[in-house]
């Protein structure tokens, strides 16, 4: 902490403060308002974190009741017609992609069959919309079986699981398809079936969901919509063993601020990230 409220002018000058963010405080309202005025007198712009910020999205109108400002939220309904249209369009797009990528599917399937044998697809139970369970599909990329739940029991609840758990069991082909995310292509079948969406929060295993729902704030809110092949959190670097709190924050931001453009932006940024990752792995 750089100083108390009575040090405000000294701190602003010493650190060249240009913008202040005021969050919740136990200080009386008149003290906080006085700080706002002091900031403004010093030429510092001020932002405030509103109460009930979890319920606020970008669709707000500002009205006044007498001299009191009222922020009215216009929420996105995850069960409304907009999301129904989103899912219908995504199922159509997934079907077209499956047809267009059929040659790639065949080549990858043959490579996996030669390097790993049967089965070609890896199936794992994940949690989807409203807590329903489904089998998520991937091309197999590793030898042997996945770690048992008991081996992952002590995974910290602050960090997301993922990546290579336990010993690296990837084959040469498996390493390539994971680096390029080609192992995720069979999830287009999950989209066509209606289990998943192209864009949405990434799905997790039931055991982890049960733990994280108890220990991570608003984790369960992610399940208001269908899970996705890619998501707003993932394009911000929150994949694998990264902060769960940050991931949940971005996932819920996506749900509450959803628009068709946000989906398009997410897909484009995903493609760019995959290209950069592949170029980096080549280098």
Show which of 57, 73, 89 is a domain's final residue.
73
Owning domain of residue 28: 5-73
Show which of 73, 94, 120 is a domain's final residue.
73
Host H or E run for residue 230:
strand 228-230
Residue 283 has pLDDT above 50, yes or no: no
User: Do 214 and 237 fall within a single domain?
Assistant: yes
* Per-position DSSP letters for 102-119, written without gaps between them: HHHHHHHHHHHHHHH-S-
User: Do 95 and 120 fall within a single domain?
Assistant: yes
Residue 192's Cα: distance from chain center in Å?
A: 21
Share of the chain above pLDDT 70, in %: 90
In this predicted model, which residue has the larger pLDDT, 49 or 135? 135
Identify the pLDDT of residue 202: 94
Identify the pLDDT of residue 123: 93
Identify the pLDDT of residue 282: 40
How far is residue 193's CA from residue 19's CA, in Å, rounded to a whole number? 49
Give the mean pLDDT of 117-146: 90
User: Do 13 and 43 fall within a single domain?
Assistant: yes
Contact 169, 198 (CB under 8 A): no
- The dihedral region occupied by 57, where left means phi > 0, alpha psi between -120 and 50, and beta the remainder, is beta
Give the mean pLDDT of 217-234: 94
Q: Regarding beta strands 60-65 and 68-73, do their DSSP bridges make them parallel or antiparallel, or are they unpaired?
A: antiparallel
Identify the pLDDT of residue 281: 43
Show which of 73, 93, 108 is a domain's final residue.
73
User: Do 107 and 214 fall within a single domain?
Assistant: yes
User: Do 27 and 101 fall within a single domain?
Assistant: no
User: Do 95 and 226 fall within a single domain?
Assistant: yes
User: Do 23 and 147 fall within a single domain?
Assistant: no
- pLDDT bracket for residue 238 (50, 70, 90): confident
User: Do 145 and 31 fall within a single domain?
Assistant: no
User: Do 56 and 172 fall within a single domain?
Assistant: no
Contact 199, 229 (CB under 8 A): yes
Residue 262 has pLDDT above 80, yes or no: yes
Q: Please state, rounded to an integer, the average pLDDT across all residues of the chain.
A: 87
Residue 279 has pLDDT above 50, yes or no: no
User: Do 38 and 118 fall within a single domain?
Assistant: no
Angle at Cα 216 formed by Cα 213 and Cα 218, nearest 5°? 75
Domain count for the chain: 2
User: Do 62 and 137 fall within a single domain?
Assistant: no
User: Do 86 and 68 fall within a single domain?
Assistant: no
Identify the pLDDT of residue 55: 76
């Amino acid at each position: 902490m750089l100083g108390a409220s009575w040090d405000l002018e000294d701190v602003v000058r010493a650190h060249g403060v240009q913008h202040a963010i005021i969050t919740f405080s136990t200080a009386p309202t008149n003290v906080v308002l006085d700080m706002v005025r002091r900031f403004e007198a010093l030429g510092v712009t001020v932002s405030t974190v509103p109460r009930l910020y979890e319920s606020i999205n970008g669709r707000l109108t500002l009205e006044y009741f007498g001299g009191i400002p009222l922020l009215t939220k216009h929420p996105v309904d995850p069960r409304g017609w907009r999301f129904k249209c989103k899912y219908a369009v995504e199922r159509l797009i997934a079907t077209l992609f499956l047809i267009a990528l059929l040659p790639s599917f065949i080549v990858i399937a043959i490579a996996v069959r030669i390097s790993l044998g049967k089965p070609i697809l890896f199936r794992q139970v994940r949690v989807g919309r409203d807590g329903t369970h489904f089998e998520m599909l991937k091309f197999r990329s590793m030898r042997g079986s996945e770690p048992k739940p008991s081996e992952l029991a002590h995974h910290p609840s602050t960090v997301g699981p993922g990546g290579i758990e336990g010993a690296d069991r990837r084959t040469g082909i498996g390493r390539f398809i994971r680096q390029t995310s080609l192992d995720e292509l069979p999830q287009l079948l999950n989209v066509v079936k209606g289990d998943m969406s192209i864009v949405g929060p990434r799905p997790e295993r039931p055991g982890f969901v049960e733990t994280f729902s108890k220990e991570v704030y608003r984790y369960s809110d992610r399940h208001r919509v269908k899970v996705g092949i890619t998501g707003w959190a993932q394009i911000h670097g929150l994949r694998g063993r990264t902060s769960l709190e940050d991931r949940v924050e971005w996932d819920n931001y996506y749900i509450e601020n959803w628009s068709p453009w946000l989906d398009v932006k997410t897909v484009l940024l995903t493609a760019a990230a995959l290209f950069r990752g592949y170029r980096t792995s080549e280098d």
